[in-house]
Structure 1
């Protein structure tokens, strides 16, 4: 991660607005969150400013959201941050930035859902609406949305590290879930729109269920299994079956097998990121660890999908 050399402050945000969007500059500015790629500053009651502060790829991700999300958002049943304005690089801040709608709620890594039925139905409805064939020119999945074999080396190495560090409840069983997923038939349908980064910090909750989905920087066209894996990361114990029954079209066995393996991959990522300083991993987000461990436990407690 390469943090910007410029300190991002409320004063800087106001100055940028004065320069490029002066009609918004008089609104109150308060820090919302410092994410993996961007900082989020709340702008009044209903808007937010997102500025890249780490990872060189953040610039392209913001442009992607600004291009595609306004057309997708009206068809989604949960609120999402809809881009309203694009900020251009300048002498004051040499990177692009965007103004979006503000989505209220608490990230699920801090406030997990508790209403199993409502949350399973809400997540299924959201992904059913999102998973439509993507148009020509849609961003390619590349490392997200493609064959699971693209991730094999990273997952195998991650499993070995997690085993060595004693982070897995049953390393052999977890490894078996991944190996079964890699052996499953690949996605043969058209590339579908997928969020591609559904983890507990990118989904918002209120009153026990989901109330919004954020951070569409990895939005792309690909295999829906990448999003269906979220059932094990986001839902309470025992809710995955209800989610899969509500999601349409009903996922076939091969897709569920791939989704289980991808849930292992995402859960491992959460565990490592939650463990500050573990084996050279980034760490520093302790609220990510518990959802990762819970997801692995759910995967091992639920029966594996029968081979296709």
Structure 2
């Protein structure tokens, strides 16, 4: 498995087989194959035809395991498309130091920015998913990752811009970011997924069939879930998404700023290790700057 972070655990198919044999012998004879995910926190392995194994790559991703074991089960009945279901709760063993999970496999392919064709139906599906998430009223929800005020990302965003000279139009990126910072804050927090990247979406025949990776989910700024308008949807479908969701100007501005901030921070970090994430980050930066030009 290619490593994305300096402090990653050593994970491979042999480790996964040993963990299964020791803790879930009923699944130990099923085929195990590394899944080429663009995810950055968990390693994913296909287990047979209907399951997957998810293992945190790094210690700072370990806290997500319990969150993904608790909240998706409570959210699933409230959302319009399937989301992950945990079938087995693994514990440290075989030299692997952290908890891990066996999940039900969800069919579908990750959409790719710039290759969607008619994205109008998908835009409406995404708006329906976001709207359903916002209607969730589960009490005591965790704080969404990156779900606080936009200005909490200011230092990291500007530091990232400083690393990108020669790779992007840093002046235009700075102007776009400062424009987003001027947008009024959210009236109230709502439930959000907070990481609607293409790698966390599943589609078939141009329609949304599933959403994965709920480690970032929780209560926060509703603009968090607008990032998909720039990291995936073409300009022709962006208005379809906005109209279906009824996003006001302030929320739209913050959403664009959140998409930009994420892209700016990810690009220098993953430039040499994760080409899928780096390409998407470049795409977002271009789309946001073009949006405002």
Give your verdict on TM over 0.5. yes
Q: Deviations over 1:139-192 (max 9, x none)?
A: 123x51000111111111222322x22323xx3333222112112111122x32
**What residue number does 1:18 align with?**
21
Q: Deviations over 1:86-110 (max 9, x none)?
A: 1122354321001111122333348
CA–CA distance in 2 between the matches of 1:43 and 1:298? 37
**What residue number does 1:271 align with?**
267
Say what the alpha-carbon RMSD is for the aligned residues: 2.3
Q: Cα distance, 1:51 vs. partner?
A: 1.1
Query: For residues 220-259 of structure 1, what are the structure 2 equivalents within 5 Å?
Result: 220-247=218-245, 250-259=246-255
Unaligned stretches of 5+ in structure 1? 277-283
Q: Cα distance, 1:199 vs. partner?
A: 1.9
Structure 1 residues 75 and 111, CA, compared in 2 at 3 Å: closer, same or farther?
farther
Structure 1 residues 300 and 10, CA, compared in 2 at 3 Å: closer, same or farther?
closer
**What residue number does 1:45 align with?**
49
CA–CA distance in 1 between the matches of 2:207 and 2:279? 18
Structure 1 residues 285 and 112, CA, compared in 2 at 3 Å: closer, same or farther?
farther
Select 2:71's aligned residue among 65, 68, 90.
68
Q: Cα distance, 1:260 vs. partner?
A: 1.3
Q: Cα distance, 1:21 vs. partner?
A: 2.4
- Number of aligned residue pairs: give it: 287
CA–CA distance in 2 between the matches of 1:110 and 1:233? 7
CA–CA distance in 2 between the matches of 1:293 and 1:210? 24
**What residue number does 1:167 align with?**
168
**What residue number does 1:293 align with?**
282
CA–CA distance in 2 between the matches of 1:293 and 1:10? 32
Query: Is residue 82 from structure 1 mapped to residue 85 from structure 2 by the alignment?
Result: yes
Structure 1 residues 111 and 41, CA, compared in 2 at 3 Å: closer, same or farther?
farther
CA–CA distance in 1 between the matches of 2:238 and 2:113? 20
CA–CA distance in 1 between the matches of 2:233 and 2:262? 14
**TM-score, normalised to structure 1's length?**
0.84
**Structure 1 stretches of at least 4 aligned residues deviating more than 4 Å after TM superposition:** 109-112
CA–CA distance in 1 between the matches of 2:14 and 2:254? 46
Query: Is residue 261 from structure 1 mapped to residue 262 from structure 2 by the alignment?
Result: no
Structure 1 residues 290 and 3, CA, compared in 2 at 3 Å: closer, same or farther?
closer
CA–CA distance in 1 between the matches of 2:159 and 2:48? 45
**TM-score, normalised to structure 2's length?**
0.88
Query: For residues 160-199 of structure 1, what are the structure 2 equivalents within 5 Å?
Result: 160-162=162-164, 164-168=165-169, 171-189=170-188, 191-199=189-197
